[in-house]
Amino acid sequence: LMRWGLIPHWAKDPSIGNRLINARAETAAEKPAFRSSFSKRRCLVPADGFYEWQKTGGRKQPFYLQLKEHRPFAFAGLWARWKASEDETVQSFTLLTTTPNEVAAKVHDRMPVILPPESYDRWLDPELHDREALEALLLPYPAEAMEAYPVSTLVNSPQNDDPRCIEPIDA
């Protein structure tokens, strides 16, 4: 398994990964923490939906976003290998984010990059190093293929691994 929160190979402390759970698609190729992974270690992160929190006044309402077809998809990710010691290596990843489509924009100012299946091979191609060609894949997913709805604040606690976390509620 990989740890969510990229730990660059040069990191002195793995806690840096706590701050690197996302990388902006527009700048990942040039940022020191992501540059090497953007060039050589791209990955797909499977999912069937994701959460974003909408700030309204002093409260945050969680929303669940998914494809209207309710099928699994893949986020564009980057991964790294960090040597914790002679005997231990930690593999970690980050999700690339982009400007939101019209559905996600109602909830948040960013969204993870969802790659269409026809882009998987190109994104994973180890011979592809052209920054512009790679960045051209990192677009907002078509809004007409997505839906978002409010869900219970049960999702705010990792202890709640429960189907109720993705059930729609009246907000």
Tens digit of each residue's pLDDT (9 = 90 or more) over 7-26: 999 999 999 999 999 999 99
In this prediction, residues 108-133 reach a mean pLDDT of: 97
First to last CA, the chain: 36
Please tell me the predicted confidence (pLDDT) of residue 33: 97
Q: Is residue 168 part of a domain?
A: no
Q: Supply the range of the domain harboring residue 151.
A: 3-158
Q: Is residue 167 part of a domain?
A: no
Q: Does the pLDDT of residue 157 top 90, yes or no?
A: yes
Whole-model pTM?
Answer: 0.94
State what percent of residues in the chain have pLDDT above 70: 99
In this prediction, residues 90-113 reach a mean pLDDT of: 98
pLDDT, mean over the chain: 96
Tens digit of each residue's pLDDT (9 = 90 or more) over 12-62: 999 999 999 999 999 999 999 999 999 999 999 999 999 999 998 889 999
The pair of structure tokens assigned to 51 is: 């959460």
Q: Is residue 164 part of a domain?
A: no
- Which CATH number characterizes residue 134's domain? 3.90.1680.10
Please tell me the predicted confidence (pLDDT) of residue 58: 87
In this prediction, residues 59-71 reach a mean pLDDT of: 97
CB atoms inside a 10 Å sphere around CB 148:
23
- What whole-number distance in Å separates Cα of residue 79 and Cα of residue 61? 30
Please tell me the predicted confidence (pLDDT) of residue 171: 65
Q: With CA atoms as reference, report the closest residue to 41 among 134, 104, 109, 132.
A: 134
Asked if residues 42 and 123 have their Cβ atoms less than 8 Å apart, the reply is yes
Q: Is residue 170 part of a domain?
A: no
The total number of structural domains in the chain stands at 1
Q: Is residue 76 part of a domain?
A: yes
Please tell me the predicted confidence (pLDDT) of residue 56: 84
The pair of structure tokens assigned to 144 is: 């007409």
